[in-house]
Structure 1
Amino acid sequence: MDRFIEKVELIAGLLLGGIALLTFTAVMARWLFNFGIPDAFDISRLLLGTAMFWGIASAGFRNRHIQVDGLWEMMPAWAKRAIDIFATSVTLGFFGLMSWMLHSKVMSVYASSEQTFDLRLPVWPFYALAALGVLLASILLLLRLIRLIGGGRGN
């Protein structure tokens, strides 16, 4: 399981690195050569959403997302576990619905043949990759919930 999570994290990191490289290259090309890379903004924008969803998949499973746990820290162990189970259940429900809605959006964008402005690249693969990230987040949250209910720490 850890190798699978590491692969998800690697893909999120590569997507983020690709955005940084594309942005840097586009800025330098414009500054040095007065030349804009076609669709650099659109591609980086689409990749950013994808990287975010893949990163959320890992953060949700490992419980490394931003959280305010002042009340949680003061609770006894059984209450901490109950809070964790409740919070993970709510988050799983949200991501499950979001995954379903993103699947509908991918189908809609595919049917509309939406493309980027300059290079006329189809947009639906970016949406599909983002939807896959949300689906992975849902699956990993379900695994975390199962571990929490089973008495483990969840990650």
Structure 2
Amino acid sequence: MYAFLARWADRLINLSAVIGSAGLIFEVAVILVDVTGRLFNTPLYGAQDLSEMTMSIVVFGGMAMADKLRAHVAVDIFEEQFPAWLNRSSDVFSALAGAAIFAGIAWTVYQSSQISLMLNLATNVIGLPKAWFQWALCAFSVITSFAMLLRAFEMLARKREQHA
């Protein structure tokens, strides 16, 4: 069962990273067109809206991959001074705390998307519905939370295998 979940988690993580990467390419293209257009006094209409909304996809799309690669910022000044069991415990706790935080982000953003739908909120210039981007952010947060939870269980299972 764990292998099945891990395989699906990897697929979802890779998908969110690809979507985040596509968002980054789109962001660069928008900025390039906007800056070039400003040179000729014709900036890209709605560039600010596109940049702001795409940035949420870029940041949260890559979050699960950053966790998978353990590429988040970590302060390990005292790690060598602590016993191995404390370092493992703090790693498991960090993964569980991260999973809870991203689940909370997903829930809060989902609730916010309901308000956006109710009030018909959209971006200022070109009127992109904010709820769409909130749903994307929510999905990326759920994927990140799921990945962190699996990582915590993997670390716990590895610890049990070492003691068996």
Question: What's the TM-score bracket when you normalise by the shorter of the two chains?
Answer: 0.7 to 0.9
In the alignment, what sits opposite 1:10?
Answer: 18
In the alignment, what sits opposite 1:106?
Answer: 113
Aligned equivalent of 2:152, options 132, 135, 145: 145
Deviation for aligned residue 1:105: 0.9
**Match status 1:19 vs 2:23:** no
- For 2:129 and 2:73, the matched residues in 1 are separated by 34
Taking structure 1 as reference, are residues 3 and 73 closer, same or farther at Cα in structure 2, changes over 3 Å only?
Answer: farther
Tell me which stretches of 4 or more aligned residues in structure 1 moved more than 4 Å.
none
Q: TM-score, normalised by structure 2?
A: 0.83
Q: Deviations over 1:101-121 (max 9, x none)?
A: 111011111221112233222
- For 1:74 and 1:20, the matched residues in 2 are separated by 44
Q: Deviations over 1:45-89 (max 9, x none)?
A: 111122111211221233210111122233333222111011111
**Match status 1:67 vs 2:74:** yes
Q: Is the 8 A contact 1:5 1:58 kept in 2?
A: yes
Ranges in structure 2 where 5+ consecutive residues have no aligned partner? 1-6, 160-164
Q: Deviations over 1:13-36 (max 9, x none)?
A: 1111211111111111111x2112
Equivalences for 1:39-78 in 2 at 5 Å? 39-78=46-85
Amino acid at match of 2:21: G
- For 2:137 and 2:12, the matched residues in 1 are separated by 17
- Match of 1:116, SS? coil
- For 1:81 and 1:16, the matched residues in 2 are separated by 34
Question: RMSD in angstroms over aligned alpha carbons?
Answer: 1.7
- For 2:136 and 2:74, the matched residues in 1 are separated by 26
Please, which moves more after superposition, 122-131 or 69-78?
69-78
Ranges in structure 1 where 5+ consecutive residues have no aligned partner? none
In the alignment, what sits opposite 1:35?
Answer: 42
- For 1:147 and 1:134, the matched residues in 2 are separated by 20
- Match of 1:151, SS? helix
Q: TM-score, normalised by structure 1?
A: 0.88
